[in-house]
Every structure is written in structure tokens, then in C-alpha cells.
Amino acid sequence: MVDSITVSVKELHAYGVSVLTSIGMNKQDALTIADKLVLTDSWGTFTHGNKLLGDYVTRLQAGGTNPLGRPRIVSEGPAWAIVDGDNAAGQVGCDFAMRKAIELAKLAGISYVGVKNTSHFGAAGVYPAMAAEANMIGLAMANDIPSVCAPGSRKAVMGTNPLAYSIPAGEHPPILLDIATSTVAGGKVYAALQRGETIPTDWIIDSDGNPTTDGSLYPLKAALAPMTGHKGYGMALLHENLAGVLTGASISWQVLNWIFDDKTKPTGHGAAFIVINPEAMMPLDKFFQRVDDLINEIHNSPTVNEIEHLLVPGEMEWKRREAALIKGINMPSDVVSKMRDLDNQIGLNTHWLN
Amino acid sequence: MVDSITVSVKELHAYGVSVLTSIGMNKQDALTIADKLVLTDSWGTFTHGNKLLGDYVTRLQAGGTNPLGRPRIVSEGPAWAIVDGDNAAGQVGCDFAMRKAIELAKLAGISYVGVKNTSHFGAAGVYPAMAAEANMIGLAMANDIPSVCAPGSRKAVMGTNPLAYSIPAGEHPPILLDIATSTVAGGKVYAALQRGETIPTDWIIDSDGNPTTDGSLYPLKAALAPMTGHKGYGMALLHENLAGVLTGASISWQVLNWIFDDKTKPTGHGAAFIVINPEAMMPLDKFFQRVDDLINEIHNSPTVNEIEHLLVPGEMEWKRREAALIKGINMPSDVVSKMRDLDNQIGLNTHWLN
């Protein structure tokens, strides 16, 4: 069993850049990807941070993702753009798209930027966080190969199609939510299985269309359940339309599984970003004050005994990041194991990993 | 016990217009409200149709809602506008706002229109339906006085803050979803109670912060549960920000309950509309084809035995409307009872109601 390792944000970042440049990616794109994976790990969202780097590298080396891909704008208007991700890494195409969305919203007040020919973009929350950093409200959506049932289906019909958003505040860190439209992500099913636990009845649906507590059926003989039935299914369908249909990306079962499907072929994912610039509509300090007032009201709401105060989405993550910047990140053993394998495979001999 | 009554769409519409003009509203605004209530009833969403008219009238007569209110644009930019609803009926302010959003999106590709000083706007879905009618994608959000817990709270912290969206298709009717961000709406708790049923554990939270199956505790000693815990809470907070914070509307506990609170005072609700014009981004027939392809794929997915085919959101509602336009609407007894009371109170003597 591998131990967890505490590593500084700086060293973790340098590791990601070294891995990616060593397989032929240019420095700028490597920095972009490393930024996002480290930000995600510093939030404590280890399922979507550097744990994924090994699988990204596999696809980049096999050619399914293009390490030299150059995202470009294929069409645009006063408040929108469609980006061709050129099959570069998801983070590269989507960082490009979110920056364009921020630029457009500055003048127009709101913007939509859709991306086609992209791939798995990591944690959806990293893109709205860019908007919040620019004092704007950001939303991110994506599609994926189906793994989630609809009410009445015996098979997955929608991807986990996430939604993330961020809203900047004054005295508080930005509100930041990042959710899948399934009840839980597939990773939670695996984790329960590894711990030998049965799972709640609303997590997965077997191939007869019935809820089951047997996590071992997933994913071959069961699909994830949509959150609150028709509600999660309906939201997944909205994201499929904004990220897939409207961008010209692959849709639904046309999207390839970025880990398991043919690694030499583009996955064809789509993504969508909406940015709103509050400063266009009211003085920024007034907006911040109103967001702060709302957060303070929530913080002062009565709680169940063991809870000090109610949290707003992202509060826990920003606290973890603050600590991580000072004390480093304690990377869990499963992530360390993956990173060490990748390190050996590439022959980097990163000192803190070995 | 009152019987249900089948009435034509035309007669139901004429009833609403008569009620509203008889209390001093101008014909145009009465038509706007009647349009939306009849559309809602024709979908079979009887909780949000003409059932509400009596309570709207009470507030309009007491002065809390202004029957002569004139919504106006207070500020605007290339792709956005803020509307002061002038405390007119929610439908009047929000119809005005959605029309503005459609107009802006035509040129800009996407638009945001926020409304302050509005009130209960009925079924959220009627506004996105306007966008779909104009071949655009529409979203509607609103805030409301808190009735929904957050994870860990002993008291409501968010309104049911709905999201509705619509996406136009080619051969199919528009996709149309209208959801509260609580697990269920409060009306479902009352209905279960009336039938003497206990309720599922994920519907309401008691004042100790624990799930309960005792529906009689709601609303005084229990609040609604957010859908899938932190997910529904997080989405309600997004809608609170876009509909409340950013528009200058009342926020959270400042909003008045439109049925129970002081009927002489404005409720202060906020609402927000986002419209995306697909034609700006791709030829409309290509967009329609892509939406149709997605719907057809869903229709052809394997289902559990008793289900003929999977539904897309809104499919059931548009089928009911199609039937309603031919055969009339069978108004349930509780709605008939409310409408008859209102009819007598105003002295209209509507023939089909009496």
C-alpha cells in the first residue's frame, strides 16, 4: 500500500509541467493544464486533479488527443463565439473558450462560448473560477458519453453532463458549485464497492430499470441514476444541447469514453460557457455587498447542533486551498500511486514522489 | 364536493380576461395573464394555472400588486437589460422582460434580462415557451421567500427558486422543463397529507434538521428538502443571485409570501431570463435537425416493460395541450371550486362555472 504524500503546490505544479512538456506539449499549454489540475487538488477534489494526468498522457501519446492542437474561433458575434478545440486537451480548448467568454462579456454584459472537438475538461469548476477572478459570474457545462439513466430507461441515455458556476463576492471567497447531474458520480460507486458497502437505493439503476444497492453491477449491468429523477435528466439534456447540439460537437453516444475507448481517436466532447458581467448592470461594490449580505444571512441561519455554520458552495474548497498554499497538499495514496506510475513510465524520477 | 368541469380553452381564457378587467386591469395586461394561466392549465399543470387567479385578484385589490403597473427598462446594454416591474402582476413584468430578452438575443446571440419589483410569475415554463416560439432557447429563473432547507440547516434558507428552460425542435414540439430546486413543491406535501399518506424521507426536514415522513409538520415545523441535498441548494443560490442579487430585487427573507403576507405590500420578487439565438450560430434547420436527432435517439432507447418510449421534458405537456385545444380542459374540482368562489365574489356569473 502506497502512503499519502504531502507536497507543495509549487512542486506539484512543476511535476505536471514536466510530465506534459516531456511528451512534446509546448510550455504554455502544459502550464494551463497543470494550473487547473493543481487548483482542483488544492480544493480537495482529488478525483479530478492530477489523478487524471496519467490517462490524459496515454491519450496524448496515442494521438487521440493532439498535444499540438491549437484551439481557434470558427465563428463569433457581439456576445458569442464557437470554438474549435482542434482536439487539443480539454483544458487547453476550454481555457481558451472561457477567456474569450470573459472578454466578450466585458462589453456585452453576457456571453456564450461553445466548444466542439474538445475532450474531458477536468473539474468543471475551474472555468467559472476564472470568471470570478475577473469579477464576473461564470457557468460551465459539458456533455459526455451516456452513463446515466432517464426515468423509465433500462440503459444510460445522458452523460453525467456537469454544471459548475461561480459568483464573486466582496469579503467572502467566490461562491463555487460543481455538480454532476446524476445523483452521484461513478467514482462514489467504485469507492463504496472498495469499502465493501452496499449503496443507497437512489445511486444506480440496473438493466431492468430498477434501483439496486449492488454497486458491483456498475457500469456494465447498471447505469447511474439522474439526481431527483426527471430533474437531473432534464438538466443533463439542457447541458447536452448547449454543450453538444449548439456547438457542433459529438452528441450523446457519439462521444467516446475518454479513458476506455479507442485511444487513437478524438473523443469529440463539447462544452459551453456563459459569463455575466455584473459591473455592466450595477456598481461592482454594490454587487459584492449584496452577495456578501446573502452569504452572511446564510451563515447566520440556525443549524443542527454539530454544525458551526451553514456553508455556501465552495467555502470548504477555498479554505482547503488557503491551507494548501501554506502547508502543501496531502495527496491521497491512490493518487500518489497513479502519479508514481506515470513518473516511472516517463522516467522523470521526481524526487518527492520516489 | 364540487365536480370537475370540462371547458374550452377559449372560454377559460375569456373567464380570466373578464375577471381581471372587471377589477380595473387594462385589456392588454389581462390578456397576457390569461394567456399564461390557460397555457399552464392546458399543459395539465393545474397547481400553477387559473387556480392561482383568486389569490392574484386578492393582492391586486388590496394594492400589494398594482393592476395599473407599467414595467419599464431601467438600464440596458448590447445583450442585457434590467426591468423594473413597477409592481405589476408577475406575468405582466416577466412577459415584458422575456420579450425584451428575445429582441436582444436576435442581434447579440445571447441575452440576459433581470426583473426587480415583480411578483409571483406563475409557472416558470411559460416564459421559455415564448423563446421557443421565436425559435430560440430560453431559460427562466426566479427567487421567492425561503421555504427550503440547506444541508445542516434547521430552517428554510432558500426559496423553491425554479428553473425552466425550452429548446425548439424541428419535427418535435419544444423540449420544456420546469422544476423547483426542492425535492418536491410544497403542494405535493399538502396533497399527500390530504390523502392521509406518509411522505418519503427526502421531501421535508423538521426543525431539528432531521428528515421526517410526517407531512403535517410542513410548513410551520418543517421546511422542504433541497433536491439531492447540496445540489438543489446550490442551484437555488445561483437563481437567487441571477434573479435577486443582480437585478436589485428583494433577496431571500426580504421577499414577501405572495399569498399569506401583508396583501397591501409589494412582494419584491426578482426574476431572470436568458435567451440564446441558435440561428446566430448555425443554420436553423441544421440546429433543428440536431435537436430532433437527439430526441429520436432518446425515444429509441430501451425502456422498462410498461413504458412505450422514454419521454423528453415537456412531451407529455404538449400532448395534453394538443388534446385540450380540441376537446377542452378538464379542470379538477379543487380548481373549479376556487374559480367558482372568485366568480361569485366578483359577480360575473360565468355560465359554464355555475
DSSP result, B10-70 = HHHHHHHHHHHHHTT--HHHHHHHHHHHHHHHHTT-GGGSGGGHHHHHHHHHHTSS-TT--
The reply to whether the predicted model has a pTM over 0.90 is yes
Show the low-confidence residues of chain B (pLDDT under 70): none
What pLDDT is recorded for position B1? 72
**B235: helix, strand or coil:** helix
Q: Please state, in angstroms and rounded to a whole number, the distance separating the CA atoms of residues A129 and A191.
A: 28
Tens-digit pLDDT profile for residues A159-199: 999 999 999 999 999 999 999 999 998 888 988 888 888 89
Among the listed residues B112, B152, B119, the one whose alpha carbon sits nearest the alpha carbon of residue B246: B112
Tens-digit pLDDT profile for residues A108-127: 999 999 999 999 999 999 99
Structural domains of chain A sorted by starting position, each given as residue range(s) with its CATH number in brackets: 5-65+324-353 (1.10.1530.10), 72-280 (3.30.1370.60)
CB A120 within 8 A of CB A52: yes
Counted residue by residue, chain A has a size of 354
Quote ipTM for the complex. 0.97
CB A348 within 8 A of CB A18: yes
Among the listed residues A83, A81, A80, A130, the one whose alpha carbon sits nearest the alpha carbon of residue A109: A80
The type of residue at A198 is T
Among the listed residues B77, B80, B66, the one whose alpha carbon sits nearest the alpha carbon of residue B118: B66
CB A295 within 8 A of CB A312: yes
Tens-digit pLDDT profile for residues B142-165: 999 999 999 999 999 999 999 999
Q: How many Cβ atoms sit within 10 Å of the Cβ of residue A193? A: 16
Taking the Cβ of residue A211 and every Cβ of chain B, the question of whether any pair is shorter than 8 Å is answered with no
Q: Please state, in angstroms and rounded to a whole number, the distance separating the CA atoms of residues B261 and B65.
A: 12
What pLDDT is recorded for position B256? 97
Minimum-distance CB partner of B313 among A79, A230, A274: A230
Minimum-distance CB partner of B154 among A278, A293, A303: A303
A191 Cβ partners below 8 Å, 6+ apart?
Answer: none
Taking the Cβ of residue B240 and every Cβ of chain A, the question of whether any pair is shorter than 8 Å is answered with yes
Q: What angle do helix axes B27-42 and B9-22 make, rounded to 10 degrees?
A: 140
Among the listed residues B292, B164, B304, the one whose alpha carbon sits nearest the alpha carbon of residue B235: B164
Average pLDDT over residues A298-326: 96
What pLDDT is recorded for position A190? 85
Tens-digit pLDDT profile for residues A64-86: 999 999 999 999 999 999 999 99
Chain A positions touching B233 (Cβ under 8 A) are: 313
3-state secondary structure string across A250-303:
CCHHHCCCCCCCCCCCCCCEEEEEEEECHHHCCCHHHHHHHHHHHHHHHHCCCE
C-alpha cell at B104: 436582444
What pLDDT is recorded for position B167? 98
Minimum-distance CB partner of A246 among B238, B281, B304: B281
Rounded to a whole number, what is the distance in Å from the CA of B207 to chain A's nearest CA? 9
C-alpha cell at A110: 453576457
Check pLDDT > 80 for residue A156. yes
Tens-digit pLDDT profile for residues A234-277: 999 999 999 999 999 999 999 999 999 999 999 999 999 999 99
> What secondary structure letter does DSSP report for A225?
P
What pLDDT is recorded for position A306? 86
What pLDDT is recorded for position B284? 98
Q: Do B281 and A114 touch (CB under 8 A)?
A: yes
What pLDDT is recorded for position A195? 84
Question: What are residue B271's DSSP bridge partners?
Answer: B115, B142
Check pLDDT > 80 for residue A36. yes
